Structure 1
Amino acid sequence: MPITPKPRRQPDQRTRLVLSALGGLLMATGAHAHADTQSVADGALVSPSEIVDCTLANGEGSQCARYVVKYLPDDLEIGPFCPATLDEEGGIWHWDGAEAGLYRIDGDFLRLLDEQGYTFFNEAGEVHSFDIRLEAPTETNECIQGSDDPQVEMTVLIPANPVMADEPTSLETVAQVGIGLDGVPIFGDAPSVLDTGHMPALDTCGGHVDPGGWYHWHATATDVNAIFEIEGVDAECVNVEQDQTAQFGYAFDGFAMFGPLNHDGSVPGDLDQCGGHIGLAEDGGDPVYHYHSGDTFPNLPACLMGVVAQDNFSTNAAGGLGSANGGGGPGAGPDFGAMAETLGVDPALLRQAMEEAGGRNADLRVVADRLGVAVEALQAALPGPGR
C-alpha cells in the first residue's frame, strides 16, 4: 500500500470553531491528560522527575514536567538496523519513491532501490553503511546506523496543564512529537532517501540512534506490529510489548498519545485532523483530549492541537538534534554547507531558495535563477540517483 504523505491543510473557519469549542470544554470540565513526576519509567531517568515553572510557546507562564533521560532506557534492546549483506535482514524503511510503502530492509528491497538508481551495495552484495555519529558517508548511497553514547542525556519539558492552541501545528520531517512513557523521545518521519541519498534505517520497533548518540522513536512502537500486518511487511517488534489500547507517551503539548483503539477496544470514530479527540482513556475516568496512532506508517499524530513549552528539548550530546551544535549530522538531511561550497553560494540562501521553490520537489530552474548558477551545476550538487 502506498504511504504517500497527505497534504497539510490550513485550519479553516470551521476548524477554528472546533478548536475554540475544545478549549472551552477543557476549561469547563478540567478534561486533559496530565504529565507528572510518575509518567516516565524510572529506568530511563538520570535524575528524579520534577514539576518546574516553564514558559509556553505563546508566552504564557505555566508548569511543566521535567524529565532528564538517558541515551537509552536500561531495559530496552534495539536493532537491527542496516544489514551487512543482501542475504541478511535489517530493520524497516518507509520508502517514498516509486512503489512507495513500508519495507523490511533486505536484499529484495535494496534491489528495488537499485533499479530506481539508488545503489546501496557493491558487486559482492555487501551493503554500504556508515556510523552517523563518528563518520561521514563515502558512497553516494549508504545505509545509516549510529553507535550510542552512554554519556548523553536529554532534558524534556512537557506541559503539566495542556492548553489548546489557536491553530494546529504541523509535524514535518524530524519534528518534535513527544516522549514515550519508556523515556524515549519521539520525532516525526525520518529524512527521505530522496532528499539525502542515504537511508537512516529504523529497527523493527520504529526507532534508531541520533547522530548525537541517543535512541529515539519515529513510530508508535507499542502497536507497530499491527502496521506490519496491514502493510504486509515481514517484520516484528519483539522488544516492546504490543497493545493497541495502551498509552504510548505524551506529545510535546502535554496531551497523551494512545494506540489506534479506545481503552475498551472499540475504534474511535470522531478523530480530528491531528488524530485526537475528547473521550474516555480509562474506565471510571473523565473525558480527556488525547491522540490515537494511525494505521499507516509513521503512525504518529499529523499535528499538535496544543501549545508546547519553549526550549522543550535539549541534550548534552556533541551533535545532532537538540545539541548546542544543532543539525542532524552527516546524511541526516541535505548538506547545504557542502552543496553551497560546491556552487559558490551562501548556504542560508541555498536552503531558503530550495524551501521556497518546493523543497524536495523544487523547480530547480527557479532555484538556479535565484542563486545565479547554472541549473546543470545545481543538479550535480544535489544528492540523488547516480550522484
Structure 2
Amino acid sequence: MTRSTGIRPFALLVALVVATPAFAHPDTGDFVQSAFLLAPEIVGCTLEDGTQTQCHKITVGYLPGGLKIGLFCPATLDDAGGIWEWTGENSGLYRIDGDFLRMLDGLGYRFFDDDENVYSVDNATERPTVDHACINVSVDESVEITMLLPVDPMMAVTPTQLGTVGKVGVALDGVPIFSDAPSIQMTGHMPALDTCGGHVDPGGWYHWHATSTDMATVFATEDVDAVCALEQNASAQFGYAFDGFALYGSREPDGSEPAGLDQCNGHVAPVADGAEVYHYHARETFPNLPPCLVGVQAQGNFTTTATAGIGAQRAGQDGRNEPPRPEGGAGGMPPDFEDAAVVLGVAPQALLDALGGPGQQPDLATAAEKLGVTEEALRDALPPPPNP
C-alpha cells in the first residue's frame, strides 16, 4: 500500500526528539526477562561519534527458550521450505518450493540435481561444492551474544544506511535483528529464511531479517502462502534498534496508519503510554525493517563467543576445544569475501557495500574507488563469480 502522507524533514525530527528526551530511553523491562543469560546492567560506552555515555549491556543465548525455528531449505522440489526475496527477473518474495526453484533454474540458477533433490549445505561445517546451494546452518548452543543500547539515544547528523547484513537491533525476546542477507547474485547461494524471516548465522546463533511479529501483513501484501508461528500484531513493539529507538509493526499502537514517516520509516508520535517518542515502523512489504537508523550507535555494540560470523571471537580466543566453524558473515556470507577483505585491508561489510546491494551487478571501478584500492587489486582479491 502506498501511503499518501508526506515525509517529515530529518532536521525537524532531530529537533522534536531532542525536545522530548525523557521519552526516548530504551527500557530493559520491556524485554522477555527469560531471554537474558545475565541480568542487564548499565555500563560506560563510547558512541560511534566519540561521545562518552552509558549503555544498557544485555547478554542472550543462541536462541530464546521455546522459540521454534525453520523450516529453511526444502529437501526436494516436492517440499516447501521457508521464504526468500528474489531480486532478479520476476523479483518478489517467494515461498521456497518447487515452483520457485524451477523459476530460478529457468533463469540460470540451478539449486537441485537431476533427481530433484535440493542442494543443501550446512555453512557451519562445510562449504558448497556446487555453484548454487541452499544454506541451512546448524545451531551452536554454547554461543553467547552481548549487545549495547544507548541509555540516552542521540540523533545522528545524518541517518546511517543499513545496506547488506547491517546491524538493526534486538527483538524484545532477545533475538538479534539484521538487514538484508547477501543476494544470490552476490554469493551464488541462498541463505534460506524461515517463514518468520529468520535463520542461523554461520556462528550458530539465530537472528531475524524482518519484523517477525508483523509477517502476516507482508504475506497478505505480497500474496505469499506462508504463516509465521509467532503471535502476529502489527501494532506491537517488536524491539529496539541499536541506536536505542523502538521498533514497531506497520501500525501505531492504537491501530492507526502511521503518518509523516521519514526516510528511515520512523517519526515522533504517541506510543502505548501516550508519550510523544521517536520510533520506527515496519513496512508492509519485504524486507519490512527500517532501511536506515537515525541515531548514533555504540562502538562494539555486538559481540559473540562464536568463532564465525558477525561479532565473532576467532579460533583460540574463546577457550573452547572444539574445531572452529568455517568463517563467514551473517546470513551465509561466503568465507572468500572475508578473505578478500583481509587481502584488501578493508572491513567485509565495506567490501559488500561497495560492490552494491542485492541484485545489482557490481561496478568494480566504482567499488575500487570507494574502497581506496585499484580495480586490478579488487579483481584479483575477489572470488570468481558464481555461474548463473
TM-score range, shorter chain: 0.7 to 0.9
Q: TM-score scaled by structure 1?
A: 0.86
Paired residue for 2:329?
328
1:315 equivalenced with 2:304 (yes/no): yes
1:257 equivalent in structure 2: 247
The correspondence of residues 304-383 of structure 1 with structure 2, limited to 5 A, is: 304-325=293-314, 327-328=328-329, 331-333=332-334, 335-336=336-337, 346-348=343-345, 360-363=360-363, 370-372=374-376, 381-383=384-386
Please give the root-mean-square deviation of Cα atoms over the aligned residues, in Å. 3.0
Q: Distance in 2 between matches of 1:357 and 1:316?
A: 29
The reply to whether residue 298 of structure 1 matches residue 287 of structure 2 is: yes
1:203 equivalent in structure 2: 194
Moved more, 25-34 or 112-121: 25-34
Call closer, same or farther: CA 1:221–1:329 in 2, change over 3 Å.
Answer: closer
- The CA distance in 2 between the partners of 1:93 and 1:370, in whole Å, is 34
TM-fit CA distance, 1:143: 0.1
Aligned CA distance change for structure 1 residues 218 and 358 (closer, same or farther; 3 Å):
closer
Per-residue CA distance 1:58-89 (angstroms, 9 max, x = gap): 11122211110010000211000000000000
Q: What number of residue pairs does the alignment pair up?
A: 364
* Unpaired stretches in structure 1, ≥5 consecutive residues: 2-14
Cα separation, 2, equivalents of 1:63 and 1:367: 36
Q: How far apart, in 1, do the equivalents of 2:352 and 2:118 lie?
A: 31
- Is 2:99 aligned against 1:98? no
1:1-387 correspondence runs (5 A): 18-238=9-229, 240-282=230-272, 284-325=273-314, 327-328=328-329, 331-333=332-334, 335-336=336-337, 346-348=343-345, 360-363=360-363, 370-372=374-376, 381-385=384-388
How far has the Cα of 1:347 moved from its partner?
Answer: 4.8
CA contact (8 A) 2:340 2:383 kept: no
Q: Which runs of 5+ in 2 are unaligned?
A: 2-6, 315-326
Offset from partner CA, 1:261-320 (integer Å, 9 cap, x none): 1111110121000000000111x4210000000011110011001111111000000111
Structure 2: which amino acid aligns with 1:287?
E
Q: 1:312 to 1:178 in 2, by over 3 A?
A: same
Cα separation, 2, equivalents of 1:212 and 1:194 = 23
Q: For the residues of structure 2 that align with 1:68 and 1:295, how far apart are their CA atoms?
A: 31
Identical aligned residues as a percent: 52
Q: What's the TM-score, normalizing by structure 2?
A: 0.86
Q: Structure 1 residue 57: deviation in Å? A: 1.1
